Structure 1
Amino acid sequence: MLNIVAHYSFDYAQQVHYPSSPLQAGPIYFVTPRKCGIFGVCCEAIPQQVNFLIDESFDTGKGANPVISMVHFYLKNHGLNSVSIHFNADNCTGQNKNNTVIQYLLWRVMTGLNASISISFLPVGHKIFS
């Protein structure tokens, strides 16, 4: 484990529709385009962002469970393996301040995956990614 503090940000982005073309005036060929949700986790030190693309048929909402699953996957497969972590997140109650998310962060510390974890919630409307 690296003796550093890693700084990550995570949030849901706007949904996108596909198939799409930037030159297309609107959804001409398809009555209802498919929707794709985007959840991003960014390591602010690198900066490198990993986006999770969620097709509408697999969308389970923007609650705590999907957030925990994607953040855990990111830290396991793309994280810096640091001793301490600091997260930035938006001020959305369902995604971030949920007791389940806080309990997950506590679980990471209690199981020795990290020595300490802190999380900051930015004011509504502020951009959090580098």
Structure 2
Amino acid sequence: MADKLDLLISDYMTGMLQVKINSRELWITRQKNEERIGSSGTSSNLAPQERRMMILEEDTKLQKMKDQKETMDNLMRALEGTTIKEILTYKFKYRLSWENVGIRVRLEESAARKQYKDFKRKFLKDGLWASVFE
């Protein structure tokens, strides 16, 4: 069964994390604009672009997703040319079974799975996103 990190890695590797970021930006800016329509409320002295930026910066869910994507971008650059990056790519981008991942990276299925679990524990759960799992 996939945990939060598996889902995050899958979303990142398939490009869905960026889609979710774009969708969230569109949704929150549309939602805020609709609230202002027909209101006799006060008008701010901000230009529409400045108002949009403020709305985006105030959304904690959006900022969390952007931080996760930036962290994963940096991590993937650091993993360039490693077996674990190949494992992540085959497993999450191409959605291969663990058996096929093992074949592609020339490891036993159990060894590929163990490398992934070790990577996830050492670099993500105990490191980058330790606070998520407390």
Q: TM-score per shorter chain, which class?
A: under 0.3
**Greater C-alpha radius of gyration:** 2
Query: If each structure's strand is expressed as a fraction of its own residues, which one has the higher value?
Result: 1
TM-score, normalised via structure 2 length: 0.22
Query: If each structure's helix is expressed as a fraction of its own residues, which one has the higher value?
Result: 2
